[in-house]
Structures are given as C-alpha cells and as structure tokens.
C-alpha cells in the first residue's frame, strides 16, 4: 500500500511540475474565501485516485477536491493533491502532494512528496519514518528557547487573527525563530525530519494533516489538538512537535485558547 501511495504521489508530482509557472489566471477558480483551485489540483487528484482505485477498488477515499468514494470499507485514503495551492499559483516553489491511509479510523501510512526538490517522506505504522530512503527522527531539542518553530496563518479564518497573533507573539518571543512557508504538509514533514522542532496552526482539514501526522508519530514525535487530545484529524487546532517541547507549546497556546471557539467560526 505504501508503494502504491509513493507511486501515486510521484505521478501527481509530474503533473504539478509540468504546469508550474504556467497556470493562467483564467484557469483559477475560487472555492471559498481565500481558497482557490485550478485544473492542476483536479488533474493531480484524478491521477492519484486512478492509481489507488486500480489497486484497491473497494477502499474508501476522502480527497480535498471532491473525489470522494465513501463506503463502509475499513480502509480510507485521505488525499491532498496540491498542498500549497496559493504558493503554486504564484510560482513560489514550495508545495507538495499528501496521501495518507487509515484503517478502522487509525492512520497506518502516509506519504508527502515535494516535486521541485524531489523529496519524499513516508511512514507505515510500526515501521518508522523515512526521507528519500533514509530513516528519519524528530529533533532532540528539549526547550522552546532553543527551538525552531513553523506555523500557518489563519488565512481562511481572519476573525481569529487577533488570538492567533497573541499566540504567535508569545511563542516567537521564546523560540530562536519561526517560519511560515505556506504548506502544512511540508511543515509537518520537516518536523518529522528534525528540520523544525514544532508546528502549530488553526483551521486545518484532515487532508492537510493526515500524512504528516503519521510520519511525525513514526519519527518519534507527537501530534495533538491544542488541548492535548489525539482527535486531531477533525479538529482544526493542531500542534505537532518532537514531543519534548509539546507541553510548553501547549501551555502557551492554552493561555489564549483555553477552550475551542464555536465551530461555526471556521470556513467549510
């Protein structure tokens, strides 16, 4: 299954590379506030689904651009055919394909592929995490003051901007540096590989998180919601870390978010 996921990610990556820098504005549509799609997202998703369904025709599928096949099969694929669409459409070379697999609602495999850098991260439950064929693990940084942190802006939920900025200020003042690169899949992959020590974001969807979460966990890290729960796939408040700074990050975040805001604050 992981080999099929890797093949699908690489084939989708070829499509992204073919059209990178050549998507006309007329080919871009608006899905929701600050959320866009083009034929490239759709062709990438079609390619991934075709490869998966040719091998596993009975498996369920949840895909960002609507290519869903829901049934009662215990296996479900979770697909983001182009994570970092805004980057992609503005010719910023940071984007990825993300594919994950659940079995009975538990993540068992994940692949994240960055086509331009030809970097592929993957993991299978109980088998460890890998980057371009090498085993990877999260960083050993043990305190926030020595940590390098990634984040994502709540661009779809700007009504939460004040709270987000308060958390950002409190974390940024303690860590050695922070980055916002525009794709959660790569942020999570970088945590798994030890490039970042931690990551947090508001407003993520299952396809943004699933592959990265299993890769981080297999690399020795932790992924939770803001309040320490492991039901993060359907919770838009995500913390991911090497595990050693997780509690400290969570305590800072909970000063601003002691409990979850009303669900209707989030874009569909």
* Total structural domains within the chain: 2
- Do 122 and 148 lie in a common domain? no
- Do 210 and 166 lie in a common domain? yes
Are 200 and 240 within 8 A, CB to CB? yes
- Do 24 and 71 lie in a common domain? yes
CA 180 from centre of chain: 13
Whichever domain contains 96, its CATH number is 3.30.540.10
- Do 132 and 7 lie in a common domain? yes
pLDDT score recorded for residue 67? 67
- Do 159 and 250 lie in a common domain? yes
- Structural domain boundaries, residue 246: 144-265
Give the mean model confidence (pLDDT) for residues 57-82.
Answer: 91
* 24-69 confidence digits (pLDDT tens): 777 677 665 555 577 888 899 999 999 999 999 999 999 987 867 8
Name the token pair of 220. Answer: 């020795």
* 83-136 confidence digits (pLDDT tens): 999 999 999 999 999 999 999 999 999 999 999 999 999 999 999 999 999 999
User: Could you tell me which of 179, 184, 178 has the C-alpha nearest to residue 156?
Assistant: 184
pLDDT score recorded for residue 10? 98
* 179-191 confidence digits (pLDDT tens): 999 999 999 999 9
- Do 111 and 224 lie in a common domain? no
Whichever domain contains 179, its CATH number is 3.40.190.80
Instruction: With cut-offs at 50, 70 and 90, classify the pLDDT of residue 70.
Output: confident
Residue at a domain's end among 136, 166, 196: 136
Task: Give pTM, 2 decimals.
Answer: 0.93
Instruction: With cut-offs at 50, 70 and 90, classify the pLDDT of residue 225.
Output: very high
- Do 14 and 120 lie in a common domain? yes
- Do 163 and 98 lie in a common domain? no
Neighbouring residues of 99: CB distance < 8 A, sequence distance ≥ 6: 5, 8, 9, 48, 77, 78, 79, 80, 110, 111, 112, 211
pLDDT score recorded for residue 206? 95
Higher local confidence (pLDDT), 146 or 26: 146
Among 99-103, 214-218, 229-233, which stretch is predicted with the lowest mean pLDDT? Answer: 229-233
* 32 bridge partner residues: 35
Q: Where are the alpha helices (DSSP H) in the chain?
A: 2-19, 39-55, 85-89, 161-172, 184-192, 206-218, 246-256
- Do 179 and 245 lie in a common domain? yes
- Do 261 and 162 lie in a common domain? yes
- Do 56 and 29 lie in a common domain? yes
Instruction: With cut-offs at 50, 70 and 90, classify the pLDDT of residue 162.
Output: very high
Residue at a domain's end among 98, 116, 136: 136
Residue at a domain's end among 80, 110, 136: 136
pLDDT score recorded for residue 157? 77
pLDDT score recorded for residue 266? 46
CB atoms within 10 A of CB 74: 11
- Do 73 and 104 lie in a common domain? yes
pLDDT score recorded for residue 30? 66
* 200-214 confidence digits (pLDDT tens): 999 899 999 999 999
The kind and range of the H/E element at 107 are strand 106-114
pLDDT score recorded for residue 31? 60
């Amino acid at each position: 299954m992981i080999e099929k996921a890797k093949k699908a990610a690489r084939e989708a990556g070829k499509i992204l590379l073919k059209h990178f820098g050549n998507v006309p504005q007329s080919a871009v549509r608006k899905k929701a506030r600050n959320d866009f799609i083009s034929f490239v997202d759709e062709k990438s998703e079609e390619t991934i689904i075709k490869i998966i369904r040719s091998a596993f025709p009975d498996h369920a599928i949840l895909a960002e651009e609507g290519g869903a096949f829901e049934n009662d099969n215990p296996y479900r694929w979770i697909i983001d055919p182009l994570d970092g669409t805004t980057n992609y459409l503005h010719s910023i070379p940071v984007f990825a394909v993300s594919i994950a697999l659940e079995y009975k609602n538990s993540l068992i495999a994940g692949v994240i592929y960055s086509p331009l850098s030809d970097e592929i991260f993957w993991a299978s439950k109980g088998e460890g995490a890998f980057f371009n064929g090498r085993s990877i693990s999260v960083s050993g940084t043990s305190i926030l003051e020595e940590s390098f942190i990634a984040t994502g802006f709540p661009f779809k939920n700007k009504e939460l901007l004040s709270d987000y900025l308060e958390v950002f200020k409190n974390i940024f003042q303690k860590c050695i540096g922070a980055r916002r690169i525009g794709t959660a899949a790569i942020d999570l992959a970088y945590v798994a590989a030890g490039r970042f020590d931690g990551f947090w974001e508001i407003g993520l969807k299952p396809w943004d998180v699933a592959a990265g979460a299993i890769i981080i966990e297999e690399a020795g890290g932790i992924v939770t919601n803001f309040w320490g729960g492991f039901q993060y796939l359907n919770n838009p408040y995500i913390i991911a870390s090497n595990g050693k700074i997780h509690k400290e990050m969570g305590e800072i975040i909970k000063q601003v978010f002691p409990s979850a805001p009303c669900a209707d604050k989030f874009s569909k």
